[in-house]
Amino acid sequence: MSLFLQQILNGLSIGLVYALIALGYTMVYGVIQLINFAHGEIFMVGGYLALTVILLFSLFFAQVPVWGALVAMIVFSVLGCALLGAVVERVAYRPLRGSPKLTALITSIGVSFFLQNAVMLIYGSKEQSVPPILPYHVFEMGAISFSLMQVIIFFTSIILMTLLTRFVKFSKTGKAMRAVSENREAASLMGVPVQKVIQATFVIGAALAAVGGALFALNYESINFHDGYLAGLKAFTAAVFGGIGSIPGAVIGGICLGVFESLGAGYISSEWKDVFAFILLVTVLIFKPSGILGEHLPEKV
Amino acid sequence: MLELNHVYTRYGKVECLKGISFTVKEGEIVAILGANGAGKTTILKTISGLIRPTAGEVLFKGKSISSLSPEAIVRFGVAHVPEGRQIFQRLEVRENLDLGAFIRRDKSEIQKDREMIFEIFPILKKRLKQKAGTLSGGEQQMLAIGRGLMSRPSVLLLDEPSLGLAPILISSIYRMIRAIHEQGKTILLIEQNAHMALKVANRAYVLQIGQIVLEGSAKEVAANPAIQSAYLGG
């Protein structure tokens, strides 16, 4: 029983990171029906930007101020990735707006290779270790234990997801996003600047992935230029599982995927945990391709 | 207020509008009548910037708007209520109206316009929190018109407001259009239902495969024998 609870808890924290990335997939898909395969790379860049901040901090401080460094690295990777998201949208995807969906999809794979190789050229191809800045602290609760890092992941992602939900529901830009995702032409007739709204969606997705990347790098204490590939693929699985296009779907999908993976790792073998993720993807695609919360609106007349 | 000068448009190689010219003066309701495929919807799309004319120009309050984006044209004061309503089905009625006022910041005036819209369409007030996709066809048409009015346009473009509605609903929609006109809105109305359109319009143009073949006051057009036999069943 305690193994079960422990694995659920571990799964929850990794699942929340998947969910942060999955939100970017699902939102971009929602507005332009594009699976942005470069999104995993944005996550990876977020991790590297966080690493850079930590290295800078350890250069200037003998004793790194923990919370200062934590906030600085999140802010820096969020800003960096948001900018990167805006540039990628403008340069790679906007010129293809009128073209077939497949063209943009292939382009996103191209952008993904580009970013991987750019990072490899800058930081090198070797695995980089991320210096642990958090004090190693384990909380015990009966038979289960969790780390300070897990607590931080938990609260950061819950806060971000709540903010995002409120933003999409209540803000003017959020309403515009939903309008564009449902009917781009009608949205433009309302005076919604469609291109800017699409770009804002990329920026928000990238910012969330950046937080995920920073937390991921800190949690695993190492980072590599192809980390974005697997994490991206899993987050994509989470988004599909939850129902692509649905924001709560991405969160539920991420958590389910994390827990499923972690239970598989705990009870069967941790070598097999990636296999479980993709078993889940294949199963969903066969039995409920629209995902848990995916909606099927009747075709417009 | 609104003027089209020799406007041509094409979809690919097919010419759709072949030199259309007409005017809408302030305070008028002008109807454009025509059969399916005559190019009625294309005219509205060209005015609101969804389609660029290949030649000719669209003037609004004396300025050319034919090269502007739809977003910019709404800001100039043209609201287009598109064919088939195209409300945001997954959004609440309230949110649809909010989006109609997307370009505005004057909160208290927006509130006033909302009240005015509830006076014309009281049912919308009852449905505020409902998803727009759950409304009936007539209610969706009211929402689409209400959403258009929320931008406080100088001219309202209506594309077949009677489309797919039961006859009793059509007459109530038209009563509402008349009420909107009485509040001083200029309206350009596109219809297949010539009978209803000619009842409310001041003037009318008849469109046939991309060209205007007849124009005049609503009475003159209704009295024209060709129109009588082609559109009015009599």
In single-letter form, the type of residue at position A19 comes to A
Minimum distance, in Å, between the CA of residue B103 and any CA atom of chain A:
6
- Residue A299 has what pLDDT? 39
* ipTM over the 0.90 cut-off: yes
- Residue A297 has what pLDDT? 46
Which CATH number describes the domain made up of B25-45+74-230?
A: 3.40.50.300
- Residue A295 has what pLDDT? 67
Where in chain B are the domains? 25-45+74-230
Instruction: Please answer yes or no on whether B147 and A187 come within 8 Å at the CB atom.
Output: no
Q: pLDDT tens across A273-282, in order?
A: 888 888 988 9
Instruction: Please answer yes or no on whether B91 and A179 come within 8 Å at the CB atom.
Output: yes
Cβ burial B101-136 (10 Å sphere, 16+ → b, else e): bbbeeeeeebeebbebbbebbeebeebeeeebeebe
Q: How many domains does chain A have?
A: 1
CATH number at residue A256: 1.10.3470
Residue A295 resides in a domain: no
Write out the residue range of the structural domain in which residue A213 sits: 2-287
- Residue A103 has what pLDDT? 95
Q: What is the pLDDT along chain A (301 residues), one digit of tens a residue?
A: 788 999 999 999 999 999 999 999 999 999 999 999 999 999 999 999 999 999 998 888 877 788 888 999 999 999 999 999 999 999 999 999 989 989 999 999 999 999 999 999 999 999 999 988 888 888 988 888 999 999 999 999 999 999 999 999 999 999 999 999 999 999 999 999 999 999 999 999 999 999 999 999 999 999 999 999 999 999 999 999 999 989 999 999 999 999 999 999 889 988 888 888 889 889 988 888 888 887 654 433 3
| pTM for the model | 0.91
Q: pLDDT tens across A138-152, in order?
A: 898 888 899 999 999
Instruction: Please answer yes or no on whether B88 and A183 come within 8 Å at the CB atom.
Output: yes
C-alpha span between B103 and A119 (Å, rounded): 41
Residues of A with CB under 8 A from a CB of B: 172, 175-176, 178-179, 182-183, 185-194, 295, 297, 300-301
- Residue B153 has what pLDDT? 95
- Residue A172 has what pLDDT? 95
Query: How would you class B81 by CB atoms within 10 Å of its CB: exposed for 0-12, middle for 13-18, buried for 19 or more?
Result: buried
Specify whether the backbone of A123 is left (phi greater than 0), alpha (psi in -120 to 50) or beta.
Answer: alpha
Set of chain A residues whose Cβ sits within 8 Å of the Cβ of B99: 175-176, 179, 187, 190, 192
Residue A239 resides in a domain: yes
- Which residue of chain B comes nearest to A195, CA vs CA? B71
Residues of chain B with pLDDT under 50: none
Choose among B169, B172, B142: nearest CA to B158: B142
The DSSP-derived string for chain B is -EEEEEEEEEETTEEEEEEEEEEE-TT-EEEEEE-TTSSHHHHHHHHHTSS--SEEEEEETTEE-TTS-HHHHHHHTEEEE-TT----TTSBHHHHHHHHTTT---HHHHHHHHHHHHHH-HHHHHTTTSBGGGS-HHHHHHHHHHHHHTT--SEEEEE-TTTT--HHHHHHHHHHHHHHHHTT-EEEEEES-HHHHHHH-SEEEEEETTEEEEEEEHHHHHH-HHHHHHTS--
Q: pLDDT tens across B93-110, in order?
A: 999 999 999 999 999 999
- Residue A298 has what pLDDT? 42
